[in-house]
Amino acid sequence: MGTKAGGYYFLGWWSPLCSRRKGIVHMRMKTCTLTACLMFAGVCAAKEHTDYQKGTLLRMDSTACGMQEKGSKSLTGEILGTDAQSKKTQEMLCQEYVLQADRVVYRIRPKDDKHPVLLPIGETAQFRIHKDKLILKVAEGADDKEREYIVVSMTPRQDAPPQSASKN
């Protein structure tokens, strides 16, 4: 190799490039660059989902999904323990959509019952099933958000072409 003098290895005209200190800095820089590249690759791999299926929103129905009770107790009834209470019960209605895919017809309800969004009927929607939810994205409209829906039922389409067996 070369001779050592004053912390530098002299290798002919490469002498200023081959010091121990510069070698350590160079190695740290390589490690940092490699780490940054791996992190960037991880971010790129976490891109938006592209495994969407397509379906058509056929109709929306209002279905009963529970009861809402509004009641008030009087102060006297609370103190004396009597049931002098007036209750008003009202049936709650939820939006239920029919989404027709290539092979299955889904009946879905919005997961957020308090702030449901009206979806355009007759339009094509993109969806994917993630765990126990159906994530729906409708391109028509002001926003292109993904919304979560609960699958109420799934029915196979009667007019769907038979599925061919895959050869493995």
Task: Convert the pLDDT of each residue in 8-21 to its tens digit.
Answer: 554 554 444 444 55
DSSP string covering 57-78: EEEEEEEEEEEEEEEEE-HHHH
**End-to-end CA separation in angstroms for the chain:** 57
Tokens of 84: 């002098």
Tokens of 101: 């895919």
Locate the DSSP E strands across the chain: 3-5, 8-10, 53-73, 85-100, 104-110, 124-130, 133-138, 146-156
pLDDT digits 0-9 by tens, 58-105? 999 988 887 777 766 666 666 666 655 567 788 888 899 999 999 999
pLDDT at 154 over 90: yes
Question: Is the pTM of the predicted complex or chain greater than 0.75?
Answer: no
> Contact 23/30 with Cβ under 8 angstroms?
no
How far is the C-alpha of 60 from the C-alpha of 26, rounded, in Å?
64
Q: What does the pLDDT average to over 112-138?
A: 88
CB atoms within 10 A of CB 56: 13
CA distances from 133 to 6, 118, 143 (A): 68, 18, 20
